[in-house]
Structure 1
Amino acid sequence: MVMETLFGDAFEHPASKPSGPARHRVLITVKAAPNPSQTHGETVCVAGVLLGPYGATGWIRLYPINFRHLPAATEAFKKYDIVTVDCQPAGEARLESWKPNMSTLRVETHLPPWRRRQELLEPIIDDSMCRIRNAASADARARSLALVRPTEILGFRLEPHPGWSKGEQSKIDAYVNQLELDVFEEAQDKTPLEPPRYRGFYKRRCADPQCTTHEQSIIDWEFVALQRHLWNRSDADATAAIRKRFYDEICASGNDVAFYVGNQAKRPQTFSILGVYYPKKAT
């Protein structure tokens, strides 16, 4: 699927994965919550849109990144920064996935809400989660990142997080044990990654005539960070505060909401919500 951006750049899914390194210019749009990793302790997926001379040209996933142990030369960056970074193609089926060399990352500028962000992102918004999911189910190389605007947001749900699985916990334990044994890692933060308190889900309907609704889990860094901030609050207070922020405020009727979604390498048909795009509706 090829889209035309506001200024004429072609926005399309790549036909194949490049074989060599490249320096990419990226508008950072999402930062996922950290996941356990045996090699890195914890890893974070950062995603955004590739930028050409006149607009967005495609999606990109930067992974793995360990924010606790970034190279000293890495510049601090946040969502909606435009950055440049050297990358290597990742060894997996998803064509948007690249391994970044974080010591080469440089921040060009930050785009404040919302006009400049909208100029780049509105032309590439999709309206069918069904189409994206069906394509990924049929072909692991199909588009694995998207920004999808629903026709209707049907609900927001929280449930207690069950804790790390045995496999996830073993990865954390192995990494911490490795740091303890390495005499050169004295300065490293050895605190094990804790699971969040809750899992969250948005339910919505897309524009596909056959849509039976979508309920997808939220893995946004900000969703987990808010939970950490509320660690000493009761369940009733904490869930009320999370619902207020992620449903009442972000999904308010005056906002033109769309969801950043991404799938899993091992289960390409399974998409999660990486973040929310919520400019005000035009009046």
Structure 2
Amino acid sequence: MDNTTSSTSILLLEGLKVTPQSSVPAFVLLLVIYVFTLLSNISLVVLITLERSLHQPMYLLFCNMTVNDAFGATAIIPPLLSNVFVPSSERYIRYTSCAIQAFCAHVHASTCHTVLMIMAFDRYVAICRPLQYGAIMTNRMVVKLSASAWTVSLLLVVVLVGLSVRLSRCRGVVFNPFCDNASLFKLSCDSVLINNIYGLGYTVVLLGSSLGSMTLTYLKIAIVCLSGRSKAVNSRALQTCATHLSLYIIMFVSGAIIIILHRFPSLSAHRKLASIMFHVVPPAMNAIIYGLQIKAVRQRIFIIFTRNIVTVGK
């Protein structure tokens, strides 16, 4: 067992499958998306931090999403970029690095759900209990919600990946663009029944709780808005909720596609592409969708845009 484990401490990673002709366009596209994701998300955090008018629970909670998006993109995209021009037979990765990447990938995916859940709670309190909003959504509550979102994700993923790391290894090839939990336990010839049971429970609990809480929250919000008297206030509330809900739908659909494609081995190539898109597209789109909804962000973009036009005109 020790010899087998030792011989598979260096793994061969499938990586991103691209032809020599498409390697340069793929590299440039991923690099542009990654740079844009980092710049947009970090810029939003800096703007919310510096702009005192944005020191509100809604925006402070959203900072969790921007940090998580930057974290998830960094865990996946740079390793893909580093292997684009490396022959597929030479894409090696240490088992420890593979386990760390799998841990980071699942923390990112889990935190997407938990962060959107606490953001939905904030919108529920703001719209359904406006008179108590200030008393409920204090700075201390924002910290508690943020900490709980990350803690729950970390605990769930520690057990998930830990169950895979404990297994002995008899294979040395990762048939995936990047390392995830399935990649880890597929390296073993031991029984993975416990892994499958926990993995299924992990998925059901995470997706079920997020979908259930989002559904109930927005049903209550819709009832309050439809029965409210102030059309202007209700319209503004629905606009904010629509932005938040669109982020959730993008994330949920992206994750659901991967889960569904896992059931069809013949569509493994599509699943691999979908898994990359999950860590690439939502992080890039979230900043655009939510950032442009913030008035201060729109004003800052307008100032920069008009300043550039004036400079070019001169």
Structure of higher CA gyration radius: 2
Q: TM-score, normalised by structure 2?
A: 0.23
With normalisation by structure 1, the TM-score equals 0.25
Higher strand share: 1
Q: Greater share of helix residues, 1 or 2?
A: 2
Q: Which has the higher relative contact order, 1 or 2, with Cα contacts under 8 A spaced 6 or more apart?
A: 2
